[in-house]
Amino acid sequence: MKMDVFVRRTRINAPAAEVFRWHARPGALERLTPPWEPVEVVEHTGGIENGARVVLRVRIGPFAQRWVSEHRDYQEGRQFRDVQVEGPFARWEHTHRIEPDGPSACSLEDHIEYALPLGALGQLGEGFVRQKLERMFAYRHRITVGDTEMQARYEGVPPMKVLVSGASGLIGSALVPLLATGGHVVIRLVRLPPKPGAVEIHWDPASGIRDPAQLEGLDAVVHLAGENIAAGRWTEERKVKIRESRVQGTRTLCEALARLSQPPKVLLSASAIGYYGDRGDEVLHEESPPGRGFLPEVCKAWEEAAAPAAQKGIRVVFPRIGIVLSPAGGALAKMLLPFKLGAGGVIGSGKQYMSWIALDDVVGALYHALMTDALRGPVNLVAPHPVTNSEFTRTLGQVLHRPTLLPVPAFAARLAFGEMADDLLLASARIEPKRLLATQYSFRCPELAGALRHVLGKA
């Protein structure tokens, strides 16, 4: 059996003990899984100690395969190893080593010994496997560096008990593991009856929390739940659902929080840059007035619905979230197939501004807002460099190495999407993250090309 070896080593400006704890906490595996990889965590028994197991479902084209790994050779604060006991490789042993480099830095090394299946025939795929490992572990190390160095900046803040609604959505499914790896306890607010053993609280956004006493003693709440605004054409019925899912759901939750004897100290109640409407090339910030139209009206009512929490004395933050970049969902996920096929192009005039943000900066900024007492009211969650649709199209094409020669005229966008086209595709919003910058939030992906390369594994 021919064995191959892959090694990646990175210096991290965080203490070795904290980087090891980050790996040992719940959520680390989810944070380390690249968004472009079709991998699902099916089961995770134990942590990283000897005998703990992880069961993954890995998709290879139309097929799915179980991958079962067992942890071995655990050394507190220094290393652990996962060994494949069932899966796609003939052999796989992955050793994670963390070595101190002074009191406030360390080196992370991933050392993998592996053998491909099918003997000599399997070796034909060695180049492909090597390339996947390079992409995957470059991403994993960037995430580890970004998360641990960010969390080290807030090391004086004690662990919190955080309630999260919308935890299974694009943003929530990235935020929950980020909080967990930071040592915080996460409770999900869910609409279905809680699963046995799950740390969840049941609610109905229209009628309320089934057992409000479960909310007592929370330190923070992150409210992300709401109907997907881009899931279909905006019929009158759908517009009512979009509005009510945000306004009524927020009011229901905030009224429940306001009745508590021990309310949380902070509430992050999601909003969106749709608040500003279509504003051409006007530079917008948190003090800018709302625009006109359906989305500005929804966002304004959405934020006003949190009044009961603010009146109770809870610090309320409205993260106005921009166009989130991730291949796992949202606008970028919808763009990828046509762009990969060489059928991408500008939409409308191409002059409309797109205020974008990488998913890791969305959750990083939410984490920052939880920890930063100076933040309250609206906070723009957008990268510091918005671009026009024409610039976005050109940059995405360059990152994917594809031409972008097939424009979508405004009339065609309206035919395909109706009213939604004007508010989501053709509207222009040139927004700056004034309050994030004023409170020294450090963007991981401040430039569009770097952000796209990171989320798509093209770095």
pLDDT (tens place) for every residue of the chain, 459 residues total: 688 999 999 999 999 999 999 999 999 999 999 999 989 889 888 899 999 999 999 987 778 899 999 999 999 999 999 999 999 999 999 999 999 999 999 999 999 999 998 765 556 568 889 999 999 999 999 999 999 999 999 988 899 999 999 999 999 999 999 999 999 999 999 998 888 888 999 999 988 898 999 999 999 999 999 888 877 788 888 899 999 999 999 999 999 999 999 999 999 999 999 999 999 999 999 999 999 999 999 999 999 999 999 999 999 999 999 999 999 999 999 999 999 999 999 999 999 999 999 999 999 999 999 999 999 999 999 999 999 999 999 999 999 999 999 999 998 888 877 888 888 889 999 999 999 999 999 999 999 999 999 999 998
pLDDT value of position 417 = 79
pLDDT value of position 5 = 95
Retrieve residue 280's tokens: 């051409």
pLDDT value of position 418 = 83
* Cα 221 from Cα 445, distance rounded (Å): 26
Do residues 194 and 201 lie in contact, with contact meaning Cβ atoms separated by under 8 Å?
A: yes
Q: Residue 331: CB partners within 8 Å, gap ≥ 6?
A: 230, 323, 324, 325
Pairing of strands 266-269, 323-325: unpaired
**Of 371, 385, 390, 394, which is closest to residue 448 (Cα–Cα)?**
385
Do residues 53 and 71 lie in contact, with contact meaning Cβ atoms separated by under 8 Å?
A: yes
> What domains can be seen in the chain, in order of their start residue?
4-152 (3.30.530.20), 161-456 (3.40.50.720)
**Of 423, 422, 356, which is closest to residue 389 (Cα–Cα)?**
356
| DSSP strands (E only) in 191-281 | 200-204, 208-209, 220-223, 266-269, 271-272
**Single-letter amino acid, residue 352:** Q
pLDDT value of position 199 = 92
H and E: helices and strands count for the chain: 15, 22
Residue with tokens 């939750």: 253
DSSP state of 426: S
